[in-house]
Amino acid sequence: MNPINYSLTRTFKIMKKSIFAIFTFALFMGSNSVFAQDPATAEHMVNVTVPEVAVLDIATSSESNIVELNPTFTGEAGTPLVFGQQNDALWLNYSSVVKANKRRTITAQLEAPIPGIDIKLTPSAITTGKGKKGTAVAGPVILSTTPSAIITEIGTCYTEDGPSNGHKLTYTITLQEADTYDQISVGETTYAPKVTYTITEAN
């Protein structure tokens, strides 16, 4: 073998080895591209729409939610009717869902005035329920035919349902502070003005 042929043969041998290495590498890369498969991802949306809720109710353990407030008379001539009777049989329950940072207020309104007499309402602080429960105004509030705020700063909350839950409502009947004794008269039947509670969006 002349030196030129020897050199070519040697070169081809080296090339064969290189080719084998390249081929092996190519196969490895090809197979590796399968084993190193990127994960596939897919996604979808879940949407939940929470609505606004504003419901309130009067709860009592009595048979009815009628508040009896009856001034008394001692029977002694020359003495006045005695006022100051109280009734705390009713409870104010509510559930409220508001938009973020919104607040609600509950007002109470007397259907019609009673001449010479005040119906006062004192809502208690609340100890039941969860969430941003309302704040009872410092009572007593003299009810009138104009709505009076009794619970303020109500956010998203619930009070629990039923008597002994929510705000206890204490009604008191009093003689008006001014000398209105002469305005007191016997009604045709019984004075029975309704008290209406309303929950509204606060401004």
Partner 1 sequence: MKAAIKTGSIIVLTLLASFYAFTQPSPELTANITGSWTLPVPSVDVTEAGNNYGGAYTSAPNQVLIGFQGNPPGQFKNISWSIEIYRLDATWDPSIQLWVRRTGNGNGQATGQCTPAIYGGLTYQQVTNVTSPFLSGACQYSNIPLEFQVRNVSVLTFAQNYSTQVVYTVTITGL
How many residues sit in the footprint of partner 1 (CB under 8 A)? 57
Q: Which stretch binds partner 1 (CB under 8 A): 69-77, 94-102, 138-146, 176-184?
A: 94-102
Burial 3-42 (b: 16+ CB within 10 A, else e): eeeeeeeeeeeeeeeeeeeeeeeeeeeeeeeeeeeeeeee
Shortest Cβ 57–partner 1 spacing (Å): 4
CA–CA distances in Å: residue 76 to residues 52, 89, 129, 171, 184: 57, 31, 48, 27, 18
Shortest Cβ 169–partner 1 spacing (Å): 14
Among 69, 89, 90, 95, binds partner 1 (CB under 8 A): 95
| SS3 call for 28 | helix
10 Å CB burial of residue 119 (0-12, 13-18, 19+) is buried
Q: Taking CB under 8 A as the criterion, which residues in 152-191 touch partner 1?
A: 156-162, 165-166
Q: Which stretch binds partner 1 (CB under 8 A): 62-70, 88-96, 115-123, 181-189?
A: 88-96
Establish whether the linkage from the previous residue to 163 is cis, with ω within 30° of 0.
no
Q: Is residue 125 a contact residue for partner 1 (CB under 8 A)?
A: no
Q: Which stretch binds partner 1 (CB under 8 A): 13-21, 82-90, 134-142, 183-191?
A: 13-21
Shortest Cβ 104–partner 1 spacing (Å): 12
Q: Taking CB under 8 A as the criterion, which residues in 23-82 touch partner 1?
A: 23, 25-27, 29-30, 33-35, 37-53, 55-57, 59
| SS3 call for 29 | helix
* Distance (Å, whole) CA 102 – CA 178: 40
Q: Compare residues 165 and 172 and give the one whose CB is closer to partner 1.
A: 165
What angle is formed at CA 120 by the lines to CA 116 and CA 124, rounded to 5 degrees?
A: 175
In 3D space, the residue among 202, 196, 185 whose CA is nearest the CA of residue 56 turns out to be 196
Shortest Cβ 202–partner 1 spacing (Å): 15
Query: By the criterion CB under 8 A, which residues form the site for partner 1?
Result: 8-9, 12, 15-16, 19, 22-23, 25-27, 29-30, 33-35, 37-53, 55-57, 59, 93-100, 129-131, 156-162, 165-166
